[in-house]
Structure 1
Amino acid sequence: MEATEKDILRGGQFLVKETNCEDVFTPEDFSEEQQMMRDSVIEFNDRKIIANRERFENKDYAFTEECMREAGEMGFLSVAVPEEYGGMGMGFVSTMLVCDYISSGTGSFSTAFGAHTGIGTMPITLYGTEAQKQKYVPKLASGEWFGAYCLTEPGAGSDANSGKTTAKLSDDGKHYLINGQKMWISNAGFCNLFIVFARIEDDQYITGFIVENNPENGITLGEEEHKLGIRASSTRQVFFNDTKVPVENMLSERGNGFKIAMNALNVGRIKLAAACLDSQRRITTTGVQYANERKQFKTPISEFGAIKSKIAEMATNAYVGESASYRAAKNIEDRIAIRLAEGNSHQEAELKGVEEYAIECSILKVAVSEDVQNCADEGIQIFGGMGFSEDTPMEAAWRDARIARIYEGTNEINRMLSVGMLVKKAMKGHVDLLGPAMSVKDELMGIPSFDIPDYSELFTEEKDMIAKLKKVFLMVAGAAVQKFGPELEQHQQLMMAASNILIEIYMAESAILRTEKNAKRFGEDKQKEQIAMAKLYLFNAVELVKKNGMEGIISFTEGDEQKMMLMGLKRFTKYTNYPNVVALRNVIAEKVKSENKYSF
């Protein structure tokens, strides 16, 4: 069935509108074509990447490039590229799927792949002129050429628009001369072109340029950076000294660079979430396999409750990350389809489709990057002393995971962005926060109901709890906006607390909707462990919402207002029937243990 404007929620609306489980996309909905693509990617990953982990750990940059060339030959670099530029022209969900399953072998290859297909190719596909696209995109899609993205500078990290690199028009008006220094440039050692951001004269905003990598044109590279993780990802400084760039290689319009950079990061964020998923599945599998084999006190350590707890939480977070990532990916794909049907160009449809869900992209980037780090950390713990050794894969997984919380905008920046963007959407009238926030305020002033609700059907209490957690966010954020107005952005710790609540709502709801949908079509008995995971995640989410809600409330209220809001927090985070968390973890762990792998 074709998606229509009415069927799918706009970005951020999940907070104020109920989503039916039938309306979410889940990994169980992959088409036959998508399943074949997934299997092809897994085969490549197992054969080429995972089998050669040692080469990546030994900083074999040439091997990373070789793997990228083969990925190009197999079509994996062209999934998102339109057919007229040599690509497969597949939808956003397929793009996410490839990114997901190709990224688990090593962070080195994952970074090279993500930098090339995302920020190296996409800005030209989405912002380039027809001539630019015809000239460069087919080479990038096939892996004949590789791309890199030059935004960060020594003094310009999170504040991307503050870069000092300059672009000056030549006297004959045919070239721009670029001068400056860029750092942390992924793929710099083997790329053929750079997307470079520089400032023309005293422009308020930077401008994007397509710059071919030619050492004879004033381009020099620093030495390879020696990094904590992603060791075979080529990362260098790039220096431009009167580098001549034809005027026709300006990307989009003058001063549009900051917009290009921000939109590229939106796509990068949701793809980064996808790139952390299969790592979690594989770490969970490796962890349980070791736990089943390792005996202490004449018993496999997988029999011990402390280890079961870890396995259950690792599997749960992976399942929830999948649920939320593919839910958002399909929303983006549907929004793109609606815009194309309305006559938008491919460029406009893609840009606006992703931009619509920028809040969800930031939420996913934060949640899944932190989950993969925790997963790897617990993986080391299951291995004990062996986990700390380079002879086992866990320590490399932990080191590789660490970068995910930094790039595509740090998690702190993304936390503040998610709340900031939501408030801006509300002010533009795209998401009605004011009405629901006022309703919550009225509810707090009224007499609570003492009726005991009927929670006999699957997930009725859990969905009621999600609705109450949304009230917590509306209560805290509504009062904060009322008090601080546009100055809210100055109160970063309050925004971080509000963002943590927002993140948990989206992730928990996504898991519940996926599981409810699958329980209806496959039967509850076949979703027993998934039901346990959705309930376990929600319980953990409620505890986090309590903590962050309290921190937020007591940071900017006092007296009767504070008492009323704290009472509201207590009311909105209270279960009627608390789940037996230990029993839930045991159900999940037994399934993973018996199948000797992540099996959902």
Structure 2
Amino acid sequence: MERAPWMRGGAFLIADTPAEAVFTPEDFTAEHRLIHEAARSFVEREVRPHLAALERQDWDLTVRLLRKAGQQGLLAAEVPEAYGGLGLDKVSAALISEALAQGGSFALSHGAHVGIGTLPIVFFGSEDQKTRYLPALAAGDKFAAYALTEPESGSDALSARTTARLAPDGRHYILNGSKQFITNAAFADVFIVYAKIDGERFSAFIVERDFPGVATGPEEHKMGIKASSTRPLILQDVPVPVENLLGEPGRGHVIAFNILNIGRHKLAVGCVGGMKEAIAEAVRYAQTRRQFGRAIAEFPLIQQKLADMAIRAFVTESMCYRTTGDIDRELSADGGPADGRDAARRIAEYALECSINKVYASEALGFVVDEAVQIHGGYGYIEDYPVERMYRDARINRIFEGTNEINRLLIPEMLLRRAMKGELPLLQAAKDVEREVFNPSPDEAQGVFAAERRLLTVGKRLFLYTGGLAVQRFGQALEGEQEILAALADLAIEVYAAESALLRAEKAAERGGGRAEHQADMVRVYVREAFDRIAARSRDALAAMEEGDALRTHLAVWRKWTRYEPVNGKRMKREIAGRILAAGGYFA
């Protein structure tokens, strides 16, 4: 299949994606909606009534609930049918993750099991390993955990000190070391453990709790996510059968990095569910809390907060399901993947977008829960109100799956790597933008969102112009200019977020219907606010790279590109808030 220009990871920065090509929540099938409803119903019926007990770390209850989830197929979505799973598409799996996110940090127990715990075996396991482990993991007869982080190696995972040495009998590897912050450690039966064979070759192993020498430490006393188990894993002369080596010796980094891609994507989808829950709580409180003789929902500043919260949720939802749809398309192309490794490779095509989603979604959730607490006032600081827990739980998402700082460094690194490998004509696009300074192309944006289209085009132009200058200015030394790299990452994130929301609104406008106007208002507000951030970030990056006459020349170009006519955001946000209040929570 010949790829269209927009059908590659990162191509959104240099090619226009047609609106009809993106997957949006409006494209959910009847089956997708049934799956989401089943997961949502499970949370309402089985999880939410027990949130207090789960917060007290009743692991027997957690295990019982996970087993019930297994009985209802909520652990089997991404396990192939041949191994007892359902073999569903990634949209279905994402909808389950989104729904489970409204079950407090029980969602982490579920997510760690079905995601980073099980998927390494799905993608990289041998036929024997899949047959031995996947049916039990899909059914909820056994539970999984992922053991990568160590006390001395967090973001620098490849510096792990845990070792694996082949025993004299040649039948076992002997593992020694410790892992830290292991989700599900209290009750997991199976651990995906990374260790260096002979202290050098970074590799992955399937380690069972019952193997001699496996132990866990005490629960960590965490700020939030208290309903999830987090303990150290201790390995002391643990004999692991050689057939439990996952993948190839010395190729553990391939498994780790691919699973992190998936973990980042799943985390972002979970943030969507968290935002929707926080908005519902904020609306409920704002409509019942009365001050100065009326509900605080009637005050414009409260309405502005609700509108901003809803807009962030809309944008995040649009991004996440766009990426999910792209991954599903990649997985179904050319007859589908040849095996699990091929499936992981296809997902890695959108590793860049997974990092973008992770950073944006985790920070958007942080913003939304913070505003939800603010709307509650002093009551938002009291444990009796759900937003207090939501606020504490949300903070970890900016640290999980690679800190947002690490992901901000990865985004430009991945783009440049793809450019150097000839997979993305990024540098040529940057040169074209440089030439356009002197020979501007005519403005071709048309339609109901013509103004937003123009701003998005300029946003991409600013990324390419700023990035091109950075490559020229620093060359190989750009790796050490972390502030510039983070600025470029922010530009790419803002472009992807704005474009995803715009494409969804364009698609909705084409279809018509009652929500098209609501989406249009959110997009008109958001694109302008995002553009202001893009403009400011690029200006500051230019000032960090040049000075004097050279800087003045660049800023003259910047000023020419960044002029635009604002809209009445106040009026639009009041209308957005009015619709959110009428609906009793988030809707799009």
TM-score normalised over the length of structure 2: 0.97
Secondary structure in structure 1 of the residue aligned to 2:188: coil
Which residue number in structure 2 is paired with residue 561 of structure 1? 550
Which segment is superposed worse, 437-446 or 269-278? 437-446
Which residue number in structure 2 is paired with residue 26 of structure 1? 24
Cα deviations by residue, 1:28-52 (Å, 9 ceiling, x for unpaired):
1011111100111110111122222
What are the equivalent positions in structure 2 for 1:15-414 lying under 5 Å apart?
Answer: 15-106=13-104, 108-203=105-200, 205-214=201-210, 217-341=212-336, 344-414=337-407
Specify whether residues 84 and 586 from structure 1 end up closer, same or farther in structure 2 by C-alpha distance, changes over 3 A only: same
Cα deviations by residue, 1:86-115 (Å, 9 ceiling, x for unpaired):
000011111111111111220x21111111
Cα deviations by residue, 1:276-296 (Å, 9 ceiling, x for unpaired):
111111111110111111111
Q: CA deviation at 1:565?
A: 2.0
Residue identity matched to 1:105? G
Unaligned runs of 5+ in 2: none
Q: Quote the Cα distance in structure 2 between the aligned partners of 1:83 and 1:454.
A: 49
Which residue number in structure 2 is paired with residue 536 of structure 1? 525
Do 2:5 and 2:11's aligned partners in 1 also have CA atoms closer than 8 Å? no
Which residue number in structure 2 is paired with residue 504 of structure 1? 494
Q: 1:464 aligns with which of 451, 454, 470?
A: 454
Cα deviations by residue, 1:350-388 (Å, 9 ceiling, x for unpaired):
212210000000000000011111111000000000011
Which segment is superposed worse, 232-241 or 49-58? 49-58
Secondary structure in structure 2 of the residue aligned to 1:124: helix
Specify whether residues 346 and 573 from structure 1 end up closer, same or farther in structure 2 by C-alpha distance, changes over 3 A only: farther
Which segment is superposed worse, 146-155 or 540-549? 540-549
Secondary structure in structure 1 of the residue aligned to 2:75: helix
Secondary structure in structure 1 of the residue aligned to 2:377: helix
Which segment is superposed worse, 5-14 or 155-164? 5-14
Residue identity matched to 1:558? E
Which residue number in structure 2 is paired with residue 491 of structure 1? 481
Say if 2:581 is the partner of 1:593. Answer: yes
Q: CA deviation at 1:580?
A: 1.1
Which segment is superposed worse, 589-598 or 75-84? 589-598
Q: Quote the Cα distance in structure 1 between the aligned partners of 2:184 and 2:445.
A: 54
Secondary structure in structure 2 of the residue aligned to 1:242: strand
Q: CA deviation at 1:5?
A: 3.2
Q: Quote the Cα distance in structure 1 between the aligned partners of 2:427 and 2:550.
A: 18
Secondary structure in structure 2 of the residue aligned to 1:336: helix
Do 2:6 and 2:16's aligned partners in 1 also have CA atoms closer than 8 Å? no
Q: Quote the Cα distance in structure 1 between the aligned partners of 2:4 and 2:328.
A: 15
Q: Quote the Cα distance in structure 1 between the aligned partners of 2:222 and 2:68.
A: 25
Q: CA deviation at 1:7?
A: 7.8
Do 1:308 and 1:589's aligned partners in 2 also have CA atoms closer than 8 Å? yes
Q: 1:521 aligns with which of 511, 516, 519?
A: 511
Residue identity matched to 2:194? F
Specify whether residues 455 and 159 from structure 1 end up closer, same or farther in structure 2 by C-alpha distance, changes over 3 A only: closer
Q: Quote the Cα distance in structure 2 between the aligned partners of 1:402 and 1:4.
A: 42
Q: CA deviation at 1:4?
A: 6.6
Secondary structure in structure 2 of the residue aligned to 1:152: coil
Residue identity matched to 1:480? A
Secondary structure in structure 2 of the residue aligned to 1:307: helix
Q: CA deviation at 1:137?
A: 0.7
Q: Quote the Cα distance in structure 1 between the aligned partners of 2:334 and 2:354.
A: 19
Q: CA deviation at 1:339?
A: 4.5
Specify whether residues 4 and 316 from structure 1 end up closer, same or farther in structure 2 by C-alpha distance, changes over 3 A only: farther
Q: Quote the Cα distance in structure 2 between the aligned partners of 1:401 and 1:202.
A: 36
Specify whether residues 455 and 251 from structure 1 end up closer, same or farther in structure 2 by C-alpha distance, changes over 3 A only: closer
Backbone CA RMSD of aligned residues: 1.6
State the percentage of identical aligned residues.
41
Cα deviations by residue, 1:223-270 (Å, 9 ceiling, x for unpaired):
011101110211111111100001111000000111111110000001
Q: CA deviation at 1:57?
A: 2.4
Residue identity matched to 2:109? A
Q: Quote the Cα distance in structure 2 between the aligned partners of 1:187 and 1:66.
A: 14
Which residue number in structure 1 is paired with residue 562 of structure 2? 573
Cα deviations by residue, 1:298-321 (Å, 9 ceiling, x for unpaired):
121111111011000100111111
Cα deviations by residue, 1:394-441 (Å, 9 ceiling, x for unpaired):
010011111111011000001111111001111111111122211211
Unaligned runs of 5+ in 1: none
Q: Quote the Cα distance in structure 2 between the aligned partners of 1:103 and 1:64.
A: 15
Do 2:6 and 2:12's aligned partners in 1 also have CA atoms closer than 8 Å? no
Secondary structure in structure 2 of the residue aligned to 1:180: strand
Secondary structure in structure 1 of the residue aligned to 2:35: helix
Q: Quote the Cα distance in structure 1 between the aligned partners of 2:550 and 2:64.
A: 62
Q: CA deviation at 1:573?
A: 2.6
In the alignment of these two chains, the number of paired residues is 588
Do 2:163 and 2:199's aligned partners in 1 also have CA atoms closer than 8 Å? no
Q: 2:425 aligns with which of 412, 424, 432?
A: 432
Secondary structure in structure 2 of the residue aligned to 1:565: helix
Do 2:161 and 2:199's aligned partners in 1 also have CA atoms closer than 8 Å? no
Q: Quote the Cα distance in structure 1 between the aligned partners of 2:444 and 2:332.
A: 40
